[in-house]
Amino acid sequence: MTVRDHNLESVAEVFATFKVKQTAGVDDLTDAHLGKAVILTASYEAGPATDNGILLGKLIDLTLNDGNNGERLATVQIGGVCTLPVSATNPVVGNRVVCGANATVKQAPALTGNDPAGGNIARGTVLAVNGTTECTILLS
């Protein structure tokens, strides 16, 4: 029996649906955010990843069209293996990640005495890095 290549992104996928966060009546997530990192906002809605935010997951799909403000729902991959765009400081294999600017992820900061009461904000384990453009993460 030979070893077959396996698409890691099909391992243990977990999806959830969220309302889309709005600012001044306009959805914060658009079709341009598909495939990028998202966060869970204070109102339990999905929004674009912000620098040093806690990663919720990868935006997989949005219902309706960009012009349907207030009516769209976001499907987010919250578990399993996924690939996300990266920004500086680029993670390396074995790192955990936090959100970076422009809906990306980056290497999580070192643990310090200033971590929040609930623990470090880092998420996942980096399985592979493609230069300075993207990394493959096991969301756990």
pLDDT tens, residue by residue, 47-100: 999 999 999 999 999 999 998 999 999 999 999 999 999 999 999 999 999 999
In the predicted model, is pLDDT for residue 113 greater than 80?
Answer: no
Q: Residue 15 above 70 pLDDT? A: yes
pLDDT > 70 fraction of the chain, expressed in percent and rounded:
91
- pLDDT of res. 114: 66
Q: Which domains does the chain have, with CATH numbers?
A: 8-139 (2.40.300)
pLDDT digits (tens, 9 = 90+) for 26-58: 999 999 999 999 999 989 999 999 999 999 999
Q: How many Å is the maximal CA-CA distance in the chain?
A: 59
CA 86, 92, 93, 99 dihedral sign is negative
